Amino acid sequence: MEPFPWRIELGEHPGVVLRTLELGDWIVEYDLSRVPDVPLWTMYPADLDEERAKMRADLNLQLAATGMGIRYVIDERGTALGTAGIGRGRHGFEVFYALKPEARGRGLVTGAVGALVSWLNANGERDIWLSTLDGNAASENVARRAGFERVDAGTHVDGRPLTNWRRRG
């Protein structure tokens, strides 16, 4: 596998790119941790302070260097709208994402997932995975739109039920 790309253009959304989340982007992590449905449905902790937001950004760069995973800022002409990324799981790579409320309803995350899946497929990864906590209808819609199919049920680390999805390459 090639090193993760530093930057990916979202072709169908002119002016929107995925760019590697770096230390200076800690405010995106800070902001997303304060959007109520982000900590509810993702692994984002609630109410990160500046120090912990910076630690997450720094950890992202360390993980990217090992090839284990990477998180990108979804950036529109210099404005951070959310994040999307990939990480190695038990069966293969998984995708994850979160948008600020004002950026929803435009297909940005479906586009970001499509771009990440394409890059993984081009680098020899056939099956790509995604998991949604049960009740997260918005994310289930993203999964379906991006070509994922339900595989089975699972349990989140906190005991909540979830659904595993797979997109065959």
Residues in contact with ligand COA by the rule CB under 6 A? 37-38, 41-42, 97-99, 104-110, 132, 136, 138-139, 141-142, 145
**Smaller CB distance to ligand COA: residue 77 or 124?**
77
Give me the least distance between CB of 41 and ligand COA, in Å please: 3
Amino acid at 168: R
Residue nearest to ligand COA (CB): 107
Give me the least distance between CB of 106 and ligand COA, in Å please: 5
**Smaller CB distance to ligand COA: residue 123 or 141?**
141
- DSSP notation for 35-95: STHHHHHSSPPSS--HHHHHHHHHHHHHHHHHTSEEEEEEEETTEEEEEEEEEE-SSSEEE
**Smaller CB distance to ligand COA: residue 3 or 161?**
161
CA-CA distance, 163 to 136, in Å (whole number)? 10
Give me the least distance between CB of 70 and ligand COA, in Å please: 17
The CB-side HSE value for 139 (13 A sphere, CA atoms) comes to 23
**Smaller CB distance to ligand COA: residue 23 or 138?**
138
The CB-side HSE value for 147 (13 A sphere, CA atoms) comes to 13
Give me the least distance between CB of 10 and ligand COA, in Å please: 10
3-state secondary structure of 143: helix
**Smaller CB distance to ligand COA: residue 41 or 66?**
41
CA-CA distance, 52 to 75, in Å (whole number)? 22
Give me the least distance between CB of 3 and ligand COA, in Å please: 26
